[in-house]
């Protein structure tokens, strides 16, 4: 039996149900894993302000990887590292959003901004991530191709209708590697679970990479294991099978 020391969980579409709550089954499994001495943490595209309520609900004191790896926290409230998106790149991404008339949002250190609430000056903020949401597949593909052609950003998604951008080289895997260093463990001792393209790096590099039953096909193809959906407590099933047995 592999000796897993860390469980890294994506939140939306993975650990949380569709109505953004924690199921009793998942809660119980996380508590049992923690009691067995395994570190359970979130590795998410969300900004820290949208992670902490769940961390508090579970009573976790573990590290956190937020905004797809742009921030790594040693523990809640203790920042370990932060990587910024250059303001001129944010400017370029914004003009692309305006050109295609998409919904857009961005995480800065000071908070979340979007199409309806944007900043007066881009260079007055410290940017962590930019995103587009658009239900028109052709436009989304065109935007994605342009972004990839710049070769300056990590281009992923957290939903089939969105695109998420982080600085080149910054991913959930790069964040988890820092966490492994902090904990003195190897990536081979990590179980990583997710459902979207922003989870691919950590699923590929963890000792056990798990795709949810509701994951995008590309993610399922790369995973070591496919579990049940987020509505069927797929996270709890993996913890029971690979950690608690």
Catalytic residues: 10
Helices (H), the chain: 24-35, 52-58, 87-100, 137-150, 172-183, 200-205, 217-222, 234-239
CA dist., res. 187 & res. 181, Å (int): 9
DSSP helix/strand/coil, 133: strand
Strand order in the sheet with 127-133: 111-114, 103-108, 127-133, 162-167, 153-156
Of 193, 221, 173, 157, give the one whose Cα is nearest residue 15. Answer: 193
Q: Please, are residues 168 and 153 in contact by the beta-carbon 8 Å criterion?
A: yes
CA dist., res. 109 & res. 82, Å (int): 9
CA dist., res. 21 & res. 6, Å (int): 22
């Amino acid at each position: 039996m592999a000796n897993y020391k860390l469980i890294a969980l994506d939140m939306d579409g993975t650990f949380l149900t569709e109505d953004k709550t924690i199921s009793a089954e998942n809660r119980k499994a996380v508590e049992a894993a923690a009691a067995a001495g395994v570190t359970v943490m979130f590795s998410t595209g969300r900004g820290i302000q949208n992670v902490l309520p769940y961390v508090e609900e579970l009573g976790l004191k573990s590290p956190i990887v937020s905004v797809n790896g742009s921030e790594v926290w040693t523990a809640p409230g203790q920042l370990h590292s932060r990587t910024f998106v250059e303001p001129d790149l944010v400017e370029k991404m914004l003009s692309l959003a305006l050109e295609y008339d998409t919904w857009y949002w961005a995480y800065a250190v000071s908070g979340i901004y979007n199409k309806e609430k944007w900043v007066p000056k881009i260079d007055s903020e410290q940017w962590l991530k930019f995103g587009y949401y658009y239900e028109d597949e052709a436009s989304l593909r065109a935007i994605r191709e342009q972004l990839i052609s710049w070769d300056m950003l990590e281009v992923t998604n957290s939903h089939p209708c969105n695109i998420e951008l982080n600085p080149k080289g910054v991913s959930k895997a790069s964040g988890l590697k820092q966490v492994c260093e902090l904990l003195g463990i190897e990536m081979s001792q990590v179980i990583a679970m997710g459902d979207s393209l922003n989870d691919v790096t950590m699923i590929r590099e963890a000792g056990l990479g798990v795709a949810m039953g509701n994951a995008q096909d590309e993610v399922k193809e790369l995973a070591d294991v496919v579990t049940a959906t987020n509505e069927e407590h797929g996270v709890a099933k993996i913890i029971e099978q690979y950690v608690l047995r």
